[in-house]
Amino acid sequence: MKRGPNDLAGLPTSATASELDVEVNIRALDPAGGTVSNGHNNRGMIMRNILMGLCGLVLAGCGSENDIPGADETAGSVALEGRSEVESPDFTGIPDWRAVDPENMLVIETARGRVIVELNDTFAPNHSARMRQAARDGFFDGRDFYRVIDGFVAQGGRGEEADSVELPQYPALVGEFTLAGEGVPFTAMVDEDLYANEVGHVDGFPAGRDSDGRTWLLHCPGTMAMARNNEPDTGDVEFYIVIGHAPRHLDRIMSVFGRVISGMEHVQALNRGNPAVNSGVIEDPARRDPILSMRVAADIDEADRPAFEIMRTDGQAFHDAKSGRRNRTHEFFFETPPAVIEACHMPGPVRVSEAETD
């Protein structure tokens, strides 16, 4: 079992969630082999630790029509001046939508429903290729989401079974954490961020950028990334999907290779583990939600293949949507909220391809 992103390394094992307001993983090293024991005698347990940050975090968002991007694009003026991305953007020749390449689409079938993930070859080409390879090998079929922590992540892939320990067909990958900024089609937002010098979007994915131009994908709800050991270059075929408040402290240290574009409600419905017991692993295998299959959309017959489009985050429609989300003037808001949005609150909108709806 791969260790997922660790929240607070080095805390004493006597610490408790009530004392620290965090979920703390209690691990024990096996003196003989250096592997994590925790009562389990297989090397799969060395990859543990997807830990929740602060307790009680909830996924922000409102489902009302007042929260629909672009519902009201008039600048607010009650308490704060409205803000816009740029004064006179030029969107000439930029379409509002782009089709998702079937080769970059994972179709995950669960008992809860179908989940669609768009892979990102720009930021994590090797991790994306590994997920395609493993999906085409049928590696994930019949495995499960065995470690699900409410408000944080759902983890699946290798699992804890003995036969998942040595996987020579899937050697550890070099981490793909950031990109040099040159040539990256980054569309910046004007909003300030706590974790990055600048935030914005790259092809629909929320992204951050530092002063040197280094760019990375953000840990937002729906983000899919590869779990690993403490060492950076140890990910192989164990993944996690963010299901709670964005754990942005994981930005730049985990290999993000995709995001859920459809079926997030099914991921949110997965059975949870108890983070205070075996670090959130669901002890009873019968309670774990199975991965019925994972396929690359390009391998599905065209007549049955799902097709989606993403709103281009460098185009007019998304520019206007950000303005509408940022500047709320509907009468519902008797107090004008700050004219600011978070990048994770504004991923590239998704729609079913018009060709599929015909």
Whether the predicted pLDDT of 7 surpasses 90: no
Q: Which residues contact 47 (CB under 8 A, 6 or more apart)?
A: 1, 2, 3, 4, 158, 227, 228, 229, 234, 238
Among residues 62, 96, 135, which one has the least CA distance to residue 294? 135
Distance CA 333, CA 140 (A): 46
Among residues 260, 268, 254, which one has the least CA distance to residue 222? 260
For residues 244-269, average pLDDT:
96
What's residue 19's pLDDT? Answer: 27
Tokens read off for 208: 């951050």
What's residue 284's pLDDT? Answer: 93
Structural domains of the chain, with CATH: 58-357 (2.40.100.10)
Which single residue is written with the structure tokens 């709800």? 221
For residues 203-220, average pLDDT:
97
Query: Residue 185 CA to chain centroid, in angstroms?
Result: 20
Q: 33-42, 162-171, 229-238: which range is least confident on average?
A: 33-42
For residues 286-294, average pLDDT:
97
What's residue 18's pLDDT? Answer: 29
What's residue 259's pLDDT? Answer: 98
Rg (CA), the chain: 21
CA distances from 212 to 83, 205, 254, 342 (A): 26, 20, 20, 22
Total number of residues shown for the chain: 358
Per residue in 145-199, pLDDT tens?
A: 999 999 999 999 987 765 556 889 999 999 999 999 788 999 999 999 999 999 9
- Return the DSSP state at 310: E
Which single residue is written with the structure tokens 């990375």? 216
For residues 283-310, average pLDDT:
97
For residues 101-111, average pLDDT:
98
What's residue 140's pLDDT? Answer: 96
Per residue in 52-81, pLDDT tens?
A: 333 333 333 333 333 433 333 333 333 334
What's residue 166's pLDDT? Answer: 80
CA distances from 328 to 62, 82, 165 (A): 13, 9, 52
Question: Could you tell me what percentage of the chain is helix, strand and coil, using 3-state DSSP and rounding each to the nearest 5?
Answer: 20, 20, 60
Across the chain, mean pLDDT equals 80
Whether 181 and 158 have beta carbons less than 8 Å apart is answered as no
Q: How many CB atoms lie within 10 A of CB 250?
A: 23
Q: What is the pTM of this model?
A: 0.79
What is the share, in percent, of the chain residues with pLDDT greater than 70? 73
Tokens read off for 221: 């709800």
Tokens read off for 200: 């914005």
